[in-house]
């Protein structure tokens, strides 16, 4: 897949709620995911599809999303693209509402996402 095809498929999957399903299609087996802060007490960085899938499962178990939107993809050269995410929801354990925006940068090599970085 080309960079644009990967970026478009990731964005379409996020819009359609297919984020976890896209992991095995778009990501390299040893892909790295990096958060801006250690919010789970497990460090900022995880490696591998199973670890990234675990982050998705943690998010789904911890938060209820009422609205989400995204902008992009924004292509950068032949190996990166960015997406801006906006999410409104509620933390399940406390009932506290949240409103967040983040920028995600995805690095691509050999037709797969090899690194994702989140800025918020």
Domain formed by 3-119, architecture: Roll (3.10)
Which residues, including other chains, have CB under 8 Å from residue 36's CB and lie 6 or more apart?
44, 102, 118, 119, 120
Parse the chain into domains and list their residue ranges. 3-119
pLDDT (tens digit, 9 = 90+) per residue, 9-50?
999 999 998 888 899 999 999 999 999 988 767 789 999 999
Instruction: Answer whether residue 84 shows pLDDT above 80.
Output: yes
**Distance of alpha carbon 87 from alpha carbon 102, whole angstroms:** 9
pLDDT at 8: 98
pTM of the model: 0.92
């Amino acid at each position: 897949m080309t960079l644009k095809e990967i970026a478009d498929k990731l964005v379409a999957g996020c819009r359609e709620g297919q984020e976890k399903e896209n992991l095995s299609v778009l990501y390299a087996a040893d892909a790295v995911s990096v958060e801006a802060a250690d919010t789970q007490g497990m460090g900022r960085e995880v490696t591998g599809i199973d670890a990234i899938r675990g982050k998705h499962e943690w998010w789904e178990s911890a938060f209820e999303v009422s609205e989400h939107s995204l902008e992009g993809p924004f292509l950068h050269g032949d190996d990166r693209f960015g997406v801006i995410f906006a999410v409104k929801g509620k933390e399940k354990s406390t009932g506290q509402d949240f409103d967040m925006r983040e920028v995600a940068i995805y690095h691509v090599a050999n037709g797969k996402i090899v690194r994702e970085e989140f800025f918020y």
